[in-house]
């Protein structure tokens, strides 16, 4: 995952500085997350995680709700 921040050099850090790595992104299941983000999970740890699907439409709808914009 790559996060790009657009800001003048003197304002760098912005919101990404305060999230402590808590960014929303799209995924279908725990395998997507384990493969791309949580690469050091053991099978036992992976089995304990309940992760509802967060696909593109869910992600888009959440953004539209947060910014009070219509979802299309």
DSSP letter assigned to residue 32: H
The mean pLDDT of 23-52, rounded to a whole number, is: 84
DSSP letter assigned to residue 19: S
Q: Is 18 exposed, middle or buried (CB count within 10 Å of its CB: 0-12, 13-18, 19+)?
A: exposed
Tens of pLDDT, residues 11-30: 776 666 677 667 778 888 88
pLDDT attached to residue 44: 93
Please give the share of the chain, as a percent, with pLDDT higher than 70: 81
Give which of 16, 15, 51 is closest to 30, Cα–Cα: 51
Task: Give the confidence band of 7 by pLDDT, cuts at 50, 70, 90.
Answer: confident
**Residue predicted with more confidence, 53 or 22:** 53
pTM score above 0.75: no
């Amino acid at each position: 995952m790559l996060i790009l921040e657009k800001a003048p050099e003197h304002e760098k850090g912005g919101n990404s500085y305060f999230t402590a790595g808590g960014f929303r992104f799209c995924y279908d299941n725990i395998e997507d997350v384990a493969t791309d983000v949580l690469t050091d999970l053991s099978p036992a740890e992976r089995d304990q995680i309940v992760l509802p699907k967060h696909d593109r439409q869910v992600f888009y709808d959440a953004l539209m709700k947060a910014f009070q914009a219509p979802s299309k």
